[in-house]
Amino acid sequence: MTTAKPARFADDYLAQLERFAARSPLPRIRALHLPPAQPNNDGRGEFCAIELDDGSLGLSYVLLDDTLAHLHAHPTRTALTGTDALDLARRYASGSGIDKTLGFAAANALTRCLYDRAGFRPDDSTDSIGSLQPTPGEAIGMIGLFKPLLGRIIEAGARLTVVELKAELAGEHEGYRVTTDAEALATCTKVVSTSTLLLNDTLDRMLGCCRQARWFAMIGPSAGCLPDALFARGVTFVGGSWITDPAAFIDALRSGTRSASASKYGLTRDNYPGFEALLARL
């Protein structure tokens, strides 16, 4: 007898979007917006955006491997205007490389469309570290080196362990250590993670390494996905970007500058109504 393979986050996410499409006609793709070919050293220019006909925007990280270079080098891959947004979103679950990246952006754009149609606006979040509330001596884990977030955790006196894919970053630093060994997260009681786990298919593996964590925050501009399947897997906080002025945001993205036209939001089980409730509002 064979055992059924557990569904991936991407499969669960796409199944929700398929139900959204069955309930309500979806907008088509208006454009793909890319950051400059050479990202800035300060971390700007890390995301592309899919824009839908209704103005909805969805973001996806483009600095994994050579994704950004390929997007700039192959204009035929970006000829998406007028195409079916759900068809592109399906590539998030079935594709790889550029297809997966663009599919994730399209899926996130459809999520914003659903939120708007359902009249849902996530609560703003002023906490850049995902409500971790670090305390002295507490073992905190970080997946992906978020340099701007280090200060608050270190100043609180917590013991910070950062897991990184880039081996050249590994080593002991003032107030924290960086390692490529994900098992180092096993003793951490709280973890903050980059949303790139959703693009490189490491989500379930990394969650498995965080078996002692009672708080797992996933943050980043591309965390604009439906959070239901994340909460079901043990994620406790999802922090994304709520775009308030799409035109200004696109201008900033394409020029590689920081935009004031987006605010941070945070979702937990307590302040998120759930996909079924959102669908019922349509």
- Token pair recorded at residue 147: 């340099």
pLDDT score of 1 more than 50: no
Q: How many CB atoms within 10 Å of residue 250?
A: 18
Strand partners, 29: 52
- The letter for the amino acid at 178 is V
Mean pLDDT check: name the lowest of 43-47, 109-113, 183-187. 43-47
Rounded mean pLDDT, 83-101: 96
Helical (H) or strand (E) element with 208: helix 203-209
Percentage of residues in the chain having pLDDT higher than 90: 83
Pairing relationship of beta strands 139-143 and 159-163 according to DSSP bridges = parallel
**DSSP at 25:** P
Helical (H) or strand (E) element with 108: helix 97-117
Enumerate domains of the chain plus CATH numbers: 9-123+245-258+273-280 (3.30.390), 139-233 (3.40.50.11590)
Nearest-CA neighbor of 238 among 260, 206, 270, 276? 270
pLDDT 10s digits, 130-169: 788 899 999 999 999 988 889 999 999 999 999 998 899 9
Q: CA 53, CA 46: separation in Å to the nearest integer?
A: 23
